[in-house]
Amino acid sequence: MKYNEVLQYLDEIIPNPKCELNYFNDYSLLIAIMLSAQTKDSRVNEVTKVLFDKYKTLEELKNANYSDLKDIIMPLGNYTKKAFNVIEIARRICDEFNGVVPIDREILETFPGIGRKTVNVFYVEYLNIPAMPVDTHVERVSKRLGLVKGNASVLEIEKVLSKNIKKEELGRRHMQLVLFGRYYCTSKKPLCDNCKLCDICKYK
């Protein structure tokens, strides 16, 4: 019942959830997701515009000057690591996978900066493979609403949500939860006065 109520409300306030990262193909999305760790999508979009304008192919990216790349990525934080990751991801896709991002999870998770959540986002957004990426927004909202236990780990949250939401809806529901957490049920000062889920919410 609780899931129904939450999902119905999400449909009401976020009927057309869309990924807010800009991308133009498989590798540009994978890199954008990696860069989005601990920062805002809007900031990533500003950086990837500069990045992919300057380095137009995977070959150019893998041969990019590390110092130049760091300068471009600096606004995102953790830029020394992220710049290294960009070059290494481009190199591996180029040299080992013929320029195409592999879809095997076990392989993708060996790429630097790419973990389970990144692969899940790539799956739902680019490949339409059912998955439930759990980021900070999905975790916060799911716990506040009691969709999962308050002490659940990220992996446990992924499993519980995946069990309780129709497989074919997972991608859409993930994006609704992200956007709800980003714009309504924010970490500080959530918009509780206008939220119709107050009655089931555990947040005080």
Site of interaction with ligand SF4 (CB under 6 A): 144-145, 184-185, 190-192, 195, 197-198, 201, 203
Q: Let me know: does 113 contact 37? Beta carbons within 8 Å.
A: yes
Q: Which has the closest alpha carbon to 125: 82, 175, 84?
A: 175
Q: What letter would DSSP give residue 144?
A: H
CB nearer to ligand SF4: give 50 or 198.
198
CB nearer to ligand SF4: give 44 or 185.
185
Q: How far apart are CA 105 and CA 173, in angstroms?
A: 21
Q: How far is the CB of 131 from ligand SF4 (least distance, A)?
A: 23
Q: How far apart are CA 41 and CA 39, in angstroms?
A: 7
CB nearer to ligand SF4: give 111 or 184.
184
Q: What letter would DSSP give residue 125?
A: I
Q: How far is the CB of 14 from ligand SF4 (least distance, A)?
A: 13
CB nearer to ligand SF4: give 145 or 178.
145
Q: What letter would DSSP give residue 124?
A: I
Q: How far is the CB of 13 from ligand SF4 (least distance, A)?
A: 10
